[in-house]
Amino acid sequence: MDPKADIIFTRRSIRLYRQGPAISDELIYFLLAAAMSAPTARNRQPWHFVVITCRNLLAELSRRHPYAKMLESAAMAVLICGDTNLEETESFIVQNCSAATQNLLLAVESAGLGAVWLGVHPRKERSEAIKDLLGIPKNIIPVSLVSIGYPAEEKPRNANYRQSRVHYNGWQESNA
């Protein structure tokens, strides 16, 4: 197996963080550049990224999102949003922002940090609470929120492969 691809299997959702230095501007640039390298429908790149490093905002986000308690100890978070002025098809926005989110997660792993993907869209109550807190304009759809920090937990390699979910040349029951 190609060692460059190993990061796909070692990337895991990390929810426990330890204290560490502030994440540098250079590293934030790297993470965002990786996210923006994701493919998009018609190459519209209809995304915006809100970088959150303020302790008070991270704490408030942890209260507004029901599964975001780890933000209280995270070094930062990134909110990945889609712009309906740049892409009118909502399902494409979700796909584009999801690809950017996955790239961001892989970049975080490659940097030795830990992260977890917190779903926002299509939960209206989550979206509205976050938009209100961060002053997000009406034409922007918050799709996902990524908590990032210095990992305080280790998890085994991903082993999610299931032959029963693989079908060749049409829908046929696989030989699991």
Which pLDDT score, from 0 to 100, does residue 174 have?
57
Which pLDDT score, from 0 to 100, does residue 173 have?
67
Which pLDDT score, from 0 to 100, does residue 166 have?
93
Q: Where are the domains positioned within the chain?
A: 16-153
Which pLDDT score, from 0 to 100, does residue 4 have?
79
Name the stretches of the chain with pLDDT < 50: none
Which pLDDT score, from 0 to 100, does residue 1 have?
67
Which residues have a Cβ under 8 Å from the Cβ of 77 and sit 6 or more positions away? Answer: 51, 52, 58, 61, 71, 145, 146, 147, 148
Distance CA 138, CA 118 (A): 21
94-142 residue pLDDT tens? 999 999 999 999 999 999 999 999 999 999 999 999 999 999 999 999 9
Which pLDDT score, from 0 to 100, does residue 3 have?
75
Q: Which CATH superfamily is domain 16-153 in?
A: NADH Oxidase (3.40.109.10)
